[in-house]
Structure 1
Amino acid sequence: MIASMQYNQPSDSSSSGSQPAARRFARLYLLIGLCAALAAALAMPSCLPDGDEPARASAKRITSRDELIGGPTALGEIGDFILMNDKIKVVVEDVGFASGSGLFGGSLIDADRIRTTSNPDKIGGSGKDTFGEFFPAFFLEMVDPEEVVVLNDGSDGKAAIVEVRGRGGEFVSMLRFINQAMINSYEANFGDLVAGIPANSDGAPLVRFSVRYILEPGASHIRVESTLKNASDQPLTFPNAAVMGVLESFLGLDLSGFSVPVGAVLGFGELNSLFLPGVGYDLRWGLEDSYRHEIPLPAFPGLVTDFMASSNTKGTNYGFIAEEAPERNFVANKEAYGARDDDDMLVLFYAAGFSGAFTHDIPDTMGVGEEFTFTNYLIVGTGDVASILDEAYIIRDAPTQTVAGQVLTPTGAPARKNTSLLLYTARTDSGASADGCSRDGEGFDLLAPAPYSQAFTNDEGYFQFTLPPGKYCYRTRDEGRPLSDYRPFEVGDKPVYLNVQASPSASLSVLIQDERGNPMPGKIMLVGKHDYRGDLQKRFYLYDLQAGEPWRTSDMVPDDPNDPSTREYLEAIAYASADGIARLNARPGTYDVYASRGMEYELVRSKDVTLKPGQPAQLAVTLNRAIDTTGYLNGDFHMHARGSIDSGLSFDDRVISIAAEGLETVVSSDHNHVSDYLPYIARNGLRPWLNSVVGVELTTFEFGHFNAFPMNYDVGSINGGAVPWQSLPPQQIFDELRKHGTISPEETIIQVNHPRDTIMGYFSQYNVDPFTSEATLTFQDPSVTGVDKIMATISTPSGPSFMRDCRSEGESCRGTEKFESTLSWDFDAIEVFNGKHLELLKHYRVPYPASVGGADGWPQHAVDQIIDTTCADEFGAELTQFCTDNAIPAADCEAPLADHPTAAWCSFDTQALFARYPQGSVLCDGDAVAFPGGLDDWYNTLNYPRTFIRGDATPAPAEPVYKRYTATGNSDSHTAGVPNFTQPGSPRNFFYVGYDDPTKFKPADLVEAMTQHRNIISNGPFAFMKIGEASIGDEIAIANPRVDVEVVVRAAKWVGASRFRIIKNGEAVVVDDDATPTVHEFQLDEGGEYRATVSLTVDKDSWLVLEVEGDNSLFPVYTPQEIPEVNFEAAIGSIAGTLGFGGGVDGLAPETTFPLTPFAFTNPIWLVYDRPGDSDGEFTPPAPSAPSCSAGALQLSEIVQADADAPLKPVAPAAPRRLRRLDTAKLPASLKANDHHGHEALERQPGEYRDLRTRFKNWHTH
């Protein structure tokens, strides 16, 4: 039968002569005809079960660890449920809290192919699970399971079935009321919102949920049947007609025709690269471009597709498709999406390894006891997209043909394993070539074949998959090889064989040595120069994200057509381990090769190194230490690897990259997973350079991330002994983390990570005031009334994690309000500087002087935008008069006024603009700081005592308590060798231990340094200050108000530093008498050091912090923030926007893309200055008068001067003014401290709290 097969054989002139026909077809017969040989070559399980027995499926509760799946991201535990057949096996989590990043059990958490190996490790399982988590989504609600049962164990030869049953639960409590209104899961009481009572899920559920996970014998997929049932005693409408009617009235929406979508949340995990037809691997821009299009109700923005698939080289991947549903398909029933099929879906977001899709919609009405079920499929593949589609075609009964072939290199040798064959649908437009594989245009006007699928080669370069009949194109991609050209082929009624040739590649190896000639860890960077392409975005010519190429980060220097040095980009990164040898493959070409070992070493550049195919290049470099950090070790206290769903990086690669960046200590901090790096450090021979501390990043969905270290590591636990967090208030979480500390609860450091990162920021989510650090519940603010109060009540996070219900019996609250925040201050450190986020350090300040245009002035477009909006808000009387004078009908008298420029009727001009927006003032939006920053927040904690609260019922102390929090800075790195992400150790901490040898390090030494605040934070310079013998972290008593501060700055030449400030009690001290009195400019000497003594005067107990910055770009060692990070705000915000909940943050905003420049700051030195009225010898917090955004009131601290011999008058505060709300205008971020904490307030317009997008910023890799 095999011999009678005939194959369509497209010619490929570049490879057709590389293999004799007989040999080619002999191998083809083996590929297609011999199932066992194919299985061995492709590392697949056998095609049939042993013997002649029919395939079976089974389901059971796991009772021993050898029944677990295992693999890089496996989470299954004893007590969970496993389904398996002859092809795949999956684990469904038992009732309880999720063991991974989710909230509840009942999710599908592990999935793998059946494998022949049977040697489970000590934790359990020997598989290759790379999956994160899957659960059905009912709008934005999930199942809170009450029981998980085996409906059929498969012993009857039929499908194995596990069912999860439960009630509705919110995975984002900020949308609790909206969910309840949409899904009718609980009674949504609009009257409570009016009364300022947040929605809760405490009542009897109106709807019950169930999910069936069904595995058929012989299938490579799980059929998922998700059901909701009307469990109430009356018919229900979806959405709740009464509530939505009220929302329509005050939101001004037309919700007629709106149907409630359902679908799934898929945590593919970062080990899997997500692929969608049409955009390929470029979910980043594919989704973001879709959000820019206004999609009216009843539709939502996103990408429409008929399948989701992932790929990885680990041997297991995952896909997702929807069952055909002509009446209830969400996409096919919306005119906004055009002509669509009944099994299409809408992909809403993809961030941090998670994606979400709407597949179906719920009927408008369900009677008592009535059920609605929608069906989807989760497919388990063998690694490539093609294996997902092979199974999808079977499920959909689609006609296909086999496509097979081999990829060869230009030398005729087989391509290496996992070379990627990219498959495209041919163009059909009128301008396409005859074969449909041509490219025309560029940028947004590009016309090209559309990505459709992808396949990996086996060890001998062979591949095999199926495709429906049609015209296609293919290309090849592999590390270090340019993308090959498009080649056409056609699938008809016969199998197809392809001869494929890959592009050439080059290679480089570099030996990195220290001053004594010994090999050591280090990093090499390959930097190329691209052609000048004008304003064309680099994603259109420098790399192809759709094809799966990596970002090639540029230097972010404006491109000059006459200067190639302005057009540099980072081609590749490689790390050397203990042997000092770094190896990489690269596209042939000429590059500059850089070698580095972090900020304490000089940067070595080898210019114009030409890499040629087939000619491996070699270099040897010596790296010299550049700066003296005697007595300090450096460390990164926030680091991720494969224990995190959004990383997937192996522990070996993780520790090698850490050592190569010159880090000496590291704290492991995987999301809800305790990891121990020390065994991997030892087995890679890195002990002379690197030591580690066991830690964890306790990661909640919406109320912050918290590191804890040093922690116990439980080798018998699948998550290393991480503690649960779901539905717990912060204090309970902190207490539980401390119980698991290695040394003692008191010596376990709790660090609040990225506190201003909105949905992941502890301070942002608990509404911590950026001036006073007081926390309030917004909906209880007396100044918030009317519609704003309702929307604040809707959007404020609720539940036991966020607030205590003071109305409950036995609940003891401190005030008279109905609810009380659970925010706890019982932590030890604040991660002030996270990764590349310079824009999140300081409260955002207006960067422009009183001028328009030029290098420093306001951009004209921003001026025009602000004036237009301000006039529309404030000058209604002038507009009315203008319309009367010009006979313009009242119905047409609205701004912007047609055919009449704003200046014709509005007296607000640029001078009024400058008066309202003084340079350096903190920007407010109504009564809130528009863009708060973590460094200014930390300064506030240093300034004020507080009625120290744990967030629970513990009575408050009689007197306010002053607690000193240690500032830290960490990379939060999730990757290694990927140019567009954060590199390990940028920034890092220099903590004082009194020695320099990392082999001497003990975790207790880090705890001591943290509790004594002996820590310096930097992404480049090493900076410290001393007052006599007192140094960073010390408290010193002074008898004289004049203090001499010795400032020392050291930096490698490539890092540089040029300015410093001394911050006293939150304000910059005057250190010069020039135009910038609070900033001292300097030059490093030839040895990279600067020393100075600054004299300043204090009049009360004070604290001092040193800030240092420079202007050098840290490229290529630390890459720019070139592309805005993917954030969950865009995803949920797109839904909220469609529902009428605002359109984004209105107002001036810091830029989120910028070159990375040097910045460092110290922890404080505390000064105790006894004087009349305060002579107790104890430090009294300075507690300066706090500024406030409310009603434009300004309360400014006086600026102290540094030079008593040449006194300067304190800078007078600006007159308070009101500032109206603005349309969005992006302005550059600035780290420079203003001379005062003055600000101008923007008045909040009614409805600001409707903007849920502002509540969902940056749910990404943290």
Structure 2
Amino acid sequence: MKPVLALTLAAFFVTFPLLAEREEVTSEIFHLGTKGLPEWNEFRSSEPHGRNLSVTFEAKANQEESTLFIRQDDVKQGWRVSLNGKRLGNLERFESKMLHTLKVPAKTLKDGENRLSIAAPTALDDVFVGGAFLVNKAREDALRQSFLEVRVTDSKGAPLPCRITITNEKDYLMPLQVEASPLVAVRTGVVYSLEGKTTAGVLPGKYLVYASRGFEYGVATAKVRVAEGETRSIRLSLDREVPTEGWISCDPHVHVKTFSGHGDSTVEERIPTIAGEGLELPISTDHNHHADYGPYQEAAGASAFFTTVIGNEVTTKVGHFNAFPIKKGAPLPNHETESWKELFKSIRATPGVEVILLNHPRNVHSNFSPTDPSHFNRASGESQREGGLEMDAIEVITSAALQADYTGPFEDWFALLNAGKRVTAAGSSDTHDVNRYLLGQGRTYLQCPDKDPANVDLAAACRAFREGRALVSMGLLTHLRVEERFEVGDLATKLPSKATARIQVLGPRWVDATRVVLYGNGLPIWESEVESAPNAITKADLKVELPKFTHDIHLVAIANGSGVTKPFWEIPRPYQHKSKEYVSRVIGATNPIWLDFDGDGKYTSPRGYAERLVEKKPMLAETLAKLSDFDSSVAVQVAALLTVRGVDLKETKAEAAWEKASPAIRTGFSEFLEASP
């Protein structure tokens, strides 16, 4: 998150040589927005200049095409830019800092006074814009004055697919002129290169150059100043920092504009972004389309870097569900139906499909959210829709569609687990873009052989997905073991009276971890603040003695830390949000270890215990007595079954009875009733 108080003119301003072709429009940075209605609470301390902007400046008439360069930050909506009443275009819909360029047609400028206007959209949007100047050349000519020649290798000197990020000294992404090629994907300030190199035309000035390759690698940086007419050569080396042996990096939610129809990444550009972010198993999930990125990968000579998978985001009026893998030539599932029962049946019948993933469960599309409280009880995990949610996995992190409160999707997942559903937590990007949302920022690590990224064992990867042998990552990687024998997806049996859990939190040097929480049945049973050593890869290595439970639990660890704000991997703001409070975080979460505390050699869910405790014709007093040794997650499920079997828990005598029960029972019953549609 960017503190408003730091957004001063000095923080935005950057100097360039005063070229003869350059004319200043304004050096000031303006905060535009709606007074009294900030988009985010962080903007409350900064009163906006207004909703619209009008700036006058002196210039000479342009007989040929010119270019407007304008700084912008935090732009989410469509802000219209005009010059002397002639529409030039929009600010870029991009919530990071960048120097944007707009074409100024010949004869738009006039001798003397000119007027730059920026008009607000109807939606709330706080933006920072200004620091504008004109160069009396077309963009491609203006950016042929100076060049940065960047080469990136691994520690052995071999070329490395990577992302090259070029900013000014204040981390504004800078406009680049790069020759088109199937080996690169280029956006303002960014080049993804399969060969680890680029020659970028830039304006003369001072620059920061970052080389990165996603979560598992370090970041190399260089400061450079390039004069007009000069070419500067930069050599950078990247090392892998985060150990992931035995785990495959997967982004199970990837789009391209070519097949999905929106976003900005073509299928050709997707290839260098996949390799440049270090993904090994990207799954193509374009909307209602079986997309195969394989031929484009082969054409770019990128077959050695990753294994492509044909998938489909089955996009309906009642939710979005990824299905994969899909055999070539398979028919489309029925995405017209509004029945979950029919939808899941159709997806399962699609040739090849082994995994169904529920996407962004709390997002609203077509006025529908799969886990909306109107039809989904967020305490008990019950759905009122026919057939219910019968997928294999659920996105708990979707980096291009984050929630203001990141815990919400986790809570929905915990509710499903407590309802007895074996659903794997997943992380994904859902990116449609080259740089607006980063591919693989949210990702899932699958436990399967990883020696050859060009030939990932897809059957093993899908099996790991279904069995919960998976880790969720957005900047951190959290491992969990019980008694040093049991890992995620395992059933832990014959546990000692004092069982211990070991939590390891890993991440590259450019992230930190600040907190770790251990959850039993979705309830926090242990938590700790952590402070990792500077530049440490292991952020935390903790041993925890587990409380003694009389019933089985599923055990999950979640770590978080401060969000990344640097432009090579900046965490985006939430896509849809009801709250105006947001704290950017990195997150690493495990899937469950299933703990057999009751010693019967199997795992019983909270729902399973509830079904034992609640008779077909239940007596409330007897049920409450039997429930006294269980936690609130079981109490929630008991309340749900009692309700189904005719007990009115809001009736005066019934309410008085359960309100006198143990704290766990009172909590569970209250949570169920509050969450009931």
Per the normalisation by structure 2, the TM-score is 0.68
Select which of 563, 570, 582 maps to 1:1119.
Answer: 570
Distance 1:1196 1:655, change over 3 A: farther
| Separation (CA, whole Å) in 1 of partners of 2:447 and 2:107 | 57
SS in 2 for 1:437: strand
| Separation (CA, whole Å) in 1 of partners of 2:675 and 2:254 | 41
Whether 2:391 is the aligned partner of 1:941: answer no
- 2:189 is matched with 572
Whether 2:1 is the aligned partner of 1:437: answer no
| Superposition map of 1:780-1179 within 5 A | 821-822=385-386, 824-835=388-399, 837-839=401-403, 842=406, 933-944=408-419, 962-976=420-434, 978=435, 981-1027=436-482, 1028-1070=484-526, 1078-1084=527-533, 1088-1089=537-538, 1090-1096=540-546, 1097-1111=548-562, 1113-1121=564-572, 1125=575, 1149-1151=579-581, 1154-1155=583-584, 1157-1170=585-598, 1175=600, 1177-1179=602-604
| Separation (CA, whole Å) in 2 of partners of 1:1179 and 1:1214 | 19
Q: Is the 8 A contact 1:573 1:584 kept in 2?
A: no
Q: Could you tell me how far 1:766 is from its partner in structure 2?
A: 6.3
Distance 1:684 1:1067, change over 3 A: same
| Separation (CA, whole Å) in 2 of partners of 1:1194 and 1:964 | 35
Q: Is the 8 A contact 1:571 1:586 kept in 2?
A: no
SS in 1 for 2:427: strand
| Separation (CA, whole Å) in 1 of partners of 2:549 and 2:390 | 30
Q: Could you tell me how far 1:1007 is from its partner in structure 2?
A: 1.0
Select which of 683, 694, 701 maps to 2:299.
Answer: 683
| Separation (CA, whole Å) in 2 of partners of 1:1240 and 1:506 | 64
Distance 1:584 1:436, change over 3 A: same
Q: Is the 8 A contact 2:393 2:424 kept in 1?
A: yes
Q: What letter is aligned with 1:645?
A: G
| Separation (CA, whole Å) in 2 of partners of 1:625 and 1:438 | 51
| Separation (CA, whole Å) in 2 of partners of 1:987 and 1:657 | 14
Q: Is the 8 A contact 1:512 1:522 kept in 2?
A: yes
Distance 1:713 1:1243, change over 3 A: closer
Distance 1:728 1:1016, change over 3 A: same
Q: What letter is aligned with 1:826?
A: E
Q: Could you tell me how far 1:506 is from its partner in structure 2?
A: 3.4
| Separation (CA, whole Å) in 1 of partners of 2:276 and 2:485 | 35
| Separation (CA, whole Å) in 2 of partners of 1:1195 and 1:1017 | 42
Distance 1:601 1:633, change over 3 A: same
Distance 1:1024 1:1084, change over 3 A: farther
| Separation (CA, whole Å) in 2 of partners of 1:1055 and 1:501 | 39
Q: Could you tell me how far 1:288 is from its partner in structure 2?
A: 13
Distance 1:1059 1:450, change over 3 A: closer
SS in 2 for 1:671: coil
- 1:521 is matched with 161
| Separation (CA, whole Å) in 1 of partners of 2:225 and 2:669 | 53
Q: Please list every run of 5 or more consecutive structure 2 residues that lacks an aligned counterpart in the other structure.
A: 1-18, 22-31, 40-50, 53-74, 79-86, 89-100, 121-131, 177-186, 610-632, 641-648
Q: Is the 8 A contact 1:1213 1:1238 kept in 2?
A: no
| Superposition map of 1:607-756 within 5 A | 607=223, 609-641=224-256, 642-700=258-316, 702-714=317-329, 721-742=331-352, 748-756=354-362
| Separation (CA, whole Å) in 1 of partners of 2:289 and 2:572 | 28
Q: Could you tell me how far 1:1121 is from its partner in structure 2?
A: 2.7
Q: Is the 8 A contact 1:511 1:621 kept in 2?
A: yes
CA RMSD of aligned residues (A): 4.6
- 2:7 is matched with none
| Superposition map of 1:440-479 within 5 A | 448=117
| Separation (CA, whole Å) in 2 of partners of 1:1169 and 1:1105 | 15
Distance 1:605 1:943, change over 3 A: same
- 1:22 is matched with none
Question: Cα deviations across residues 65-102 of structure 1 (Å, max 9, x unaligned)?
Answer: xxxxxxxxxxxxxxxxxxxxxxxxxxxxxxxxxxxxxx
Q: Could you tell me how far 1:680 is from its partner in structure 2?
A: 1.8
SS in 2 for 1:758: coil
Q: Could you tell me how far 1:1098 is from its partner in structure 2?
A: 2.3
Distance 1:1237 1:1185, change over 3 A: closer
Q: Is the 8 A contact 2:595 2:603 kept in 1?
A: no
Distance 1:748 1:1104, change over 3 A: same
Distance 1:1150 1:1014, change over 3 A: farther
Q: Greater CA radius of gyration, 1 or 2?
A: 1
SS in 2 for 1:1098: coil
Q: Could you tell me how far 1:602 is from its partner in structure 2?
A: 1.0
Whether 2:337 is the aligned partner of 1:773: answer no
Q: Could you tell me how far 1:705 is from its partner in structure 2?
A: 0.7
Distance 1:1014 1:610, change over 3 A: same
Distance 1:1104 1:840, change over 3 A: farther
Distance 1:1039 1:1112, change over 3 A: closer
Q: Could you tell me how far 1:527 is from its partner in structure 2?
A: 2.7
Q: What letter is aligned with 1:1009?
A: A
SS in 2 for 1:593: strand
SS in 1 for 2:372: helix
Give the length in aligned residue pairs: 531
Q: Could you tell me how far 1:505 is from its partner in structure 2?
A: 4.6
Q: What letter is aligned with 2:344?
A: F
| Separation (CA, whole Å) in 2 of partners of 1:838 and 1:287 | 24
- 1:762 is matched with 370
Q: Is the 8 A contact 1:595 1:603 kept in 2?
A: yes
Distance 1:1243 1:1017, change over 3 A: closer
Q: Please list every run of 5 or more consecutive structure 1 residues that lacks an aligned counterpart in the other structure.
A: 1-12, 16-284, 293-301, 304-349, 354-384, 387-417, 427-432, 440-447, 452-481, 488-497, 532-541, 551-569, 715-719, 777-820, 844-932, 945-961, 1071-1077, 1130-1144, 1198-1209, 1217-1235, 1250-1262
- 2:147 is matched with 507
| Separation (CA, whole Å) in 1 of partners of 2:557 and 2:226 | 45
Q: What letter is aligned with 1:1081?
A: V
| Separation (CA, whole Å) in 2 of partners of 1:712 and 1:505 | 50
Higher relative contact order (CA 8 A, sep 6+): 2
Distance 1:485 1:1003, change over 3 A: same
Q: What letter is aligned with 1:1002?
A: D
Question: Cα deviations across residues 569-618 of structure 1 (Å, max 9, x unaligned)?
Answer: x96111110x22134343332121111111111111112x1133432322
| Separation (CA, whole Å) in 2 of partners of 1:436 and 1:686 | 53
Per the normalisation by structure 1, the TM-score is 0.38
SS in 1 for 2:381: coil
Query: What fraction of aligned residue pairs are identical, expressed as a percent?
Result: 24
- 2:612 is matched with none
Q: Is the 8 A contact 1:632 1:996 kept in 2?
A: no
SS in 2 for 1:614: coil
SS in 1 for 2:260: coil
SS in 1 for 2:462: helix
Q: Is the 8 A contact 1:507 1:585 kept in 2?
A: yes
| Separation (CA, whole Å) in 2 of partners of 1:1030 and 1:1194 | 43
Q: What letter is aligned with 1:1179?
A: T
| Superposition map of 1:582-593 within 5 A | 582-593=198-209
SS in 1 for 2:151: strand
